[in-house]
Amino acid sequence: MHLLVLLYVDDMIITGDNEVEISMLKNELSVRFEMKNLGEVGCFLSLEVEKSDQGYFISQKRYAEELLQHFGMGGSKEKATPMEPHLKLMKNEGQELKDAGKFRQLVGSLIYLTTTRPEIAYSVGVISQFMQNPRTSHLDAAKRILRYFKGTTNYDLLYKKESSFLLKGYTDPDWAGNANDRRSTSGYYFSVGSAAISWCSKKQPTVALSSTEAEYMAATMATQECVWLKHLMGDISGAVDYAVQIQCDNESAVRLAANPVFHARTKHIEVRHHYIREKVLDREIELKGISTLDQVADIFTKALGKAKF
């Protein structure tokens, strides 16, 4: 893994990529600021970092175990997935909870766990929609996520030592998947080399009238994230001078993004969602087709069965 230090001194960005330069930077900072060397990072804000020959492992094992004990789920039965497949939670289904505060505390804790556990992003996103008036069915769904953690507390994110650090992404929606308002859920995932660096599961702001429109809206959201990541990587390690590939499993959406004329039946799509066309034509991104079976972002848009999960 290429070691890079990024420091801000007097509004200037200074980078160092070897031990000599890093030592010089530390000396420069120690003159201006009071500093203490705490050694290599091991745990920071419940994020546990472990260095190995393969690379770096990042997890929240201890935090997940504490959650299980805090909410009385330490002896519960394990589950293979964080959410029951095809589950549709309704706003008014089940009895109202007497202690809504406990539910909100649980959901808030699970949201923090998505920092290192991208596979629960969809499940946590679903239950977080019921924070205002939670019911027993919503609490059961939240507890299932804890039962999933019961057997997977040792899962980590692995950042391997790689020679190639190309930025690549995946995007996918679940068309009209929300049973309450029929809005779709967008999901995207970006990686650099072996490393997962950005992911998201979010309900779309408007109702999509077709699966193509839902895919197109999801791809636009992924494109916005991609442009931001390109700027960030440019500030840290140099300009990203290639078209970033974003994988999409809907051919109509791919053609719509590449061909400005192909819009006879999509004129109703909001102008802001055509942002992706400009980026494709400028060759900042490349929207490519992919098989649904190889779609990584599928896990951010729906509750999958055990085998596919």
CATH number of the domain to which 218 belongs: 3.30.420.10
Do residues 140 and 175 both lie within one domain? no
Range of the domain at 9: 5-39
- The pLDDT tens digits of the residues spanning 186-204 come to 999 999 887 899 999 999 9
Give CA–CA dist 147/157, Å, rounded: 20
> Structure pTM?
0.84
Whether 113 is covered by a domain: the verdict is yes
Whether 94 is covered by a domain: the verdict is yes
Do residues 167 and 290 both lie within one domain? yes
pLDDT value of position 273: 74
Total domains, the chain:
3
Burial code of 226-248, b = ≥16 C-beta within 10 A, e = fewer? bbebbeebeeeeeebeeebbbbb
Residue 266, Cα to own-chain centre: how many angstroms? 28
Give yes or no for a contact between 199 and 190, defined as CB atoms under 8 angstroms apart.
yes
Residue 195, Cα to own-chain centre: how many angstroms? 12
253, containing H or E segment: helix 251-258
Q: If pLDDT is split at 50, 70 and 90, which confidence band does 16 have?
A: very low
Residue type for position 212: T
pLDDT value of position 12: 38
| Residue bearing the bigger pLDDT, 124 or 211 | 124
Whether 255 is covered by a domain: the verdict is yes
Q: Residue 77 burial (CB < 10 Å; 0-12/13-18/19+)?
A: exposed
Give yes or no for a contact between 215 and 253, defined as CB atoms under 8 angstroms apart.
yes
Q: How far is CA 42 from CA 88, 158, 281, in A?
A: 40, 15, 44
Which of the listed ranges 13-22, 166-175, 227-236 does the model predict with the highest average pLDDT? 166-175
Residue range 41-45: mean pLDDT, rounded: 87
pLDDT value of position 60: 94
Give yes or no for a contact between 122 and 187, defined as CB atoms under 8 angstroms apart.
yes
Residue range 82-95: mean pLDDT, rounded: 91
